[in-house]
Amino acid sequence: MSRLSPLPEPLNARPFALTEAEAAGVARSRLLGRDLYRPSRGVRIPKAGPPELTALVRSHTRLDADTFGSLITAAEVLAIPLPPWAVFRPDGGGPVTTVTEPVPWGKKSGAHFREPGRFLHLSRRNGGTLPRRKGVAGHRLKVRDGDLLEFDGLRVTSVARTWVDLGSVLPMEDLIVAGDAIISEHARTFGEQKQPVVPLAELRRFVEGANGIHGVRKAREALDQLRVGVDSPPETKLRLMLDDAGLPEFVPDCRVDDALGKPVWTDLGCARFRTCVEYEGLHHLLPEQQALDSYRDQRVAEAGWRQVRINRIDMERGPEWVVSRVTQALRKQGWHR
């Protein structure tokens, strides 16, 4: 068995288009090597490591100047949080699943509707041909000025446009989670200021002018439920859980003034009943963070607030468990349904 010649860097570590390989002097016969996946015509991926999503999208968009990443793929490239079922996941060690006849998104008989995370979502403008490649869910989108951007060398829909498009594929809760992440900002007395990816006012203007875009109706409904100041998807889900239960409103990034009048920032707070809720992720298990949390808890208690600490296990037990814990705290602070 003949030994394969090494590929030039950086082609040996990422997906690439055949045009790139030819420009680098790679022989066409080498591109048929057993060490390369062939996910789609014109694209090769080294088997040595898992494919990187951005590089895989870039290898496709370089083949065609009219093609760009969109919907779930654009969201993942732009680091917009997605539910686990939507995140791109290669099958069986290969980079993508073979799909010989892509169908438009939303056709319930098609595989794209059932398992969106198994495909790259690529689009062309309305009037263009539908992208038809193995492993690709193809779309035609109405694109306006400013709807596309260059990110890390590849073409994708803008953050605001991507969020509106997600309204056509995500459940309402997941769309709100994504929106909260996009608009999140805060300026506390500790740590660095957090700047929004898209300020709420700017996102609102975009959505108001997004007539004719699939998903805009749900995006407009979700927009009214977005809140500035959320630090993580679980915080959004926790807030929505409390809202759905009919509890008093809890505001993200709520300020509590301690006994000395100095601010303490809580994840969710109801000032009317002096009750706050903290979502504790894995970093709260670190000794340094536990010391800070203990000091925060003391200051909050001395200010006359009652605090409820919620973690992943609580959330997995479901709304009834979480809501009952917060309800008990509210009642002890004077709330009556």
Instruction: Name the nearest CA neighbour of 151 among 268, 55, 276, 224.
Output: 55
Judge if pTM exceeds 0.85: no
Starting at the earlier edge strand, list the strands of the sheet with 148-151: 136-141, 120-125, 68-69, 154-157, 148-151
Q: What is the predicted pLDDT for the residue at 286?
A: 62
Instruction: Name the nearest CA neighbour of 35 among 10, 63, 60, 12.
Output: 12
Q: What span, in angstroms and rounded, lies between the C-alpha atoms of 267 and 246?
A: 19
What is the Cα 177 distance to its own chain's centre? Answer: 8
Widest distance between CA atoms in the chain: 80
- Which tokens go with 112? 């794209």
Q: What is the predicted pLDDT for the residue at 194?
A: 82
Instruction: Name the nearest CA neighbour of 59 among 49, 69, 50.
Output: 69
Q: What is the predicted pLDDT for the residue at 139?
A: 87
Q: How many CB atoms lie within 10 A of CB 327?
A: 18
CA dihedral 279, 284, 285, 287 (to 10 degrees): -150
Q: What is the predicted pLDDT for the residue at 284?
A: 56
Q: What is the predicted pLDDT for the residue at 161?
A: 97
C-beta of residue 148 within 8 angstroms of C-beta of residue 79: no
Question: What are the DSSP calls for 9-22, one per residue?
Answer: TTGGGS-EEHHHHH
Taken in order of first residue, the domains within the chain and their CATH numbers are 57-223 (no CATH), 233-332 (3.40.960)
171 upstream amide cis, omega within 30 of 0: no
The pLDDT tens digits along the chain (337 residues) read 457 788 887 777 677 777 788 888 888 878 888 777 666 667 777 767 656 777 778 777 776 778 899 999 999 999 999 998 888 765 433 333 333 233 333 333 233 333 445 678 888 887 666 766 667 788 889 898 899 998 777 889 999 999 999 999 999 999 999 999 999 998 665 556 788 999 999 999 999 999 999 999 999 999 999 999 998 999 999 999 999 999 999 999 999 998 888 999 999 999 999 999 999 875 555 666 666 777 788 898 899 999 999 999 999 999 999 999 999 999 999 998 7
Q: What is the predicted pLDDT for the residue at 86?
A: 86
Q: What span, in angstroms and rounded, lies between the C-alpha atoms of 327 and 96?
A: 46
The CA angle 210-177-123, to the nearest 5 degrees, is 45
